[in-house]
Amino acid sequence: MDYQLIRSRRRTLAMEIDREGRVVVRAPALLPRWEIDRFVAAHEDWARKHLERRRAWREAHPDPDAAEQTRLRALAREVLPRRVDYFSKLMGVEPAGVKITSARGRFGSCSGKNSLCFSWRLMAYPMEAVDYVVVHELAHITHKNHGPDFYRRVEQFLPDWRARRALLKG
């Protein structure tokens, strides 16, 4: 199995599938190549299963063309600030600002200073999923982690948050 090898000062071996659908192995700097190859061979079934999942997801979610990107960006600028305003009043929190980004790896984020960012790519999903991401990020204003109190806060406003989150997984 082909893989990209990244050596560093780490102590353990790890395998992952990157965003482009490549197998990446992270290994300690001095670990012999034969041990790395043995590790890869032992985890080949896992890698193949996840490569297939990644391929299927990419086929189901192709990158939008320029016109669709423009439409989704405009929709995000229109919809997301309104949803943030609605839920922030409901939740009794005040974000420092709302920004629309082109992030690929995450749909939303909340900075330490309570500034919210949302990817325009979120607008390709159902409104139930959009609202989940908005409430999730607003909950970070109160709880800066993903602990039990954080999820209780999300559940307080979206009792069906698990089903909404599942919509984002494709």
170 residues of the chain, pLDDT tens digit each: 999 999 999 999 999 998 788 999 999 999 999 999 999 999 999 999 999 988 887 888 788 999 999 999 999 999 999 999 999 999 999 999 999 999 988 999 999 999 999 999 999 999 999 999 999 999 999 999 999 999 999 999 999 999 999 999 85
Domain limit, last residue, from 14, 45, 60: 60
Task: State the pLDDT at residue 61.
Answer: 78
45, 60, 75 — which closes off a domain?
60
| SS3 assignment, position 4 | strand
- pTM given for the model: 0.77
Please report the pLDDT score of residue 126 as a whole number.
96
- Residue 33 to residue 137: CA distance in whole angstroms: 43
Residues 146/99, Cβ–Cβ less than 8 Å? no
When divided into structural domains, the chain yields a total of: 2
pLDDT of residue 17: 93
Measured CA distances, 167 to 38, 65, 101, 122, 127 (Å): 37, 22, 21, 11, 10
Q: Quote the pLDDT of residue 59.
A: 85
Based on the fold, state whether residues 24 and 104 are members of the same structural domain.
Answer: no
Which distant-in-sequence residues (6+ apart) come within 8 Å of 20 by Cβ?
none
Question: In angstroms, how far is CA 25 from the centroid of its own chain?
Answer: 21
Answer whether 132's CB lies under 8 Å from 158's CB: yes
- Whether residues 110 and 153 share a domain: the answer is yes
Residues 162 and 104 in one domain: yes
Instruction: Please give the pLDDT value at position 105.
Output: 80
Say if residue 33 is in the same domain as residue 94: no
Q: What was the pLDDT predicted at 128?
A: 98
Domain encompassing residue 38: 4-60
Kindly state the tokens that stand for 144: 């800066």
Q: What pLDDT is recorded for position 63?
A: 86
Looking at the structure, do residues 34 and 82 belong to the same domain, yes or no? no
